[in-house]
Amino acid sequence: MWITYPQIINIFTINSNGHKPIKTSTMYGNFMKGSLIDLFFPRFCLGCGFIGIYICPICESKMEKVKDSVCFYCGRPSFLGFTHPRCRHQKGIDGFLSIYSYNGLFRKLLQESKYKGAYAVLYTLLAFFHQRAFRNLKKWNNLFRPIITSVPLHMQRIRERGFNQSDIIVEQYFGHKLINLHILERTTDTAHLANIKNKNNRESHVRAAFTFVGNSVPKTVLLVDDVVTSGSTISECSKTLKENGVQTVLAFSLARG
């Protein structure tokens, strides 16, 4: 089995925690600084081949961004991504924000980090700052003071990958002040939803796949995932949370399809 450059970098950039790669800067001035591993196994931009980083600022700037905050259900513009009153579901998502469109280079980056175990690629992408997204998330925080939790993976999937990409997003985007409480547990090891094209089949695969494991019930929860396409997974998470007493469920993803 072939080992890719990003996977090699993961092997040689483990810190004292045993599983988290060392975060690197995306500034050009720091590209060529680093350990001997960068000399023998240089990092290349997955967009243009620029040496020193998995995605350079130029390629990142060309990645398609989500321009407007929209309602999770109808896709029409909505203030701060809140679900329109007419679109609300009793156990559904109350607000949704995202940064990228799930296509092109982002899809390639996700495949490297998520399915090939090269999570150093994800750390590189998360180092880029997006003012509009952070401004909206800050407004959410001021309004709701939500508990932050990542969409969980089944333990079998974590053993296969070695990490949960949503945990990394929580750590990097929301910092250490906001704790990822892991109030949900994935009790069913479902098939890869990316391979299931029919939305109804996706919904049936994740039905009753989650269990609430929190010690207390928060008023508002912010769910964090890497990508949302059909929305089946976070919708099922929302259903589980609200059935256990959560009043408001917000959702954030790096990309939406």
Task: State residue 40's pLDDT score.
Answer: 64
Task: State residue 203's pLDDT score.
Answer: 62
- Average pLDDT of span 180-184: 82
Q: Is residue 6 part of a domain?
A: no
Q: Is residue 143 part of a domain?
A: yes
Q: Is residue 19 part of a domain?
A: no
pLDDT band at 188 (very low <50, low <70, confident <90, very high): confident
- Average pLDDT of span 138-160: 91
Contact 22, 38 (CB under 8 A): no
Tens of pLDDT, residues 50-59: 988 889 999 9
pLDDT band at 17 (very low <50, low <70, confident <90, very high): very low
Q: Is residue 223 part of a domain?
A: yes
Contact 254, 121 (CB under 8 A): no
Q: Is residue 12 part of a domain?
A: no
- pTM to 2 decimal places: 0.80
pLDDT band at 172 (very low <50, low <70, confident <90, very high): confident
Q: Is residue 163 part of a domain?
A: yes
- Average pLDDT of span 167-194: 76
- Average pLDDT of span 56-66: 94
Asked whether residue 31 carries a pLDDT value surpassing 50, the answer given is no
Owner of token pair 């997955």: 46
Asked whether residue 62 carries a pLDDT value surpassing 50, the answer given is yes
Q: Phi and psi of 91, rounded to 5°?
A: -115, 25
Number of domains in the chain: 1
Percent over 90 (pLDDT), the chain: 49
127 versus 5: which is more confidently predicted?
127
111 versus 24: which is more confidently predicted?
111
Asked whether residue 98 carries a pLDDT value surpassing 70, the answer given is yes
Give the CA dihedral 30, 32, 38, 44, nearest 10 degrees.
Answer: 90
Asked whether residue 249 carries a pLDDT value surpassing 90, the answer given is yes
Owner of token pair 């280079």: 105
Owner of token pair 């880029």: 128
Angle among Cα 21, 22, 26 to the nearest 5 degrees reads: 115
Task: State residue 113's pLDDT score.
Answer: 80
Q: Is residue 22 part of a domain?
A: no
Containing structural domain, residue 216: 65-256
The highest-confidence range among 18-22, 136-140, 181-185, by mean pLDDT, is 136-140
Q: Is residue 57 part of a domain?
A: no
Report how far residue 112's alpha carbon sits from residue 119's, in angstroms, rounded to the nearest whole number. Answer: 8
Tens of pLDDT, residues 83-95: 999 999 999 999 9
* Cα 194 to Cα 90, 128, 230, distances in angstroms: 27, 26, 10
Task: State residue 87's pLDDT score.
Answer: 97
Between 13-22, 50-59, 150-159, 231-240, the lowest mean confidence (pLDDT) is in 13-22
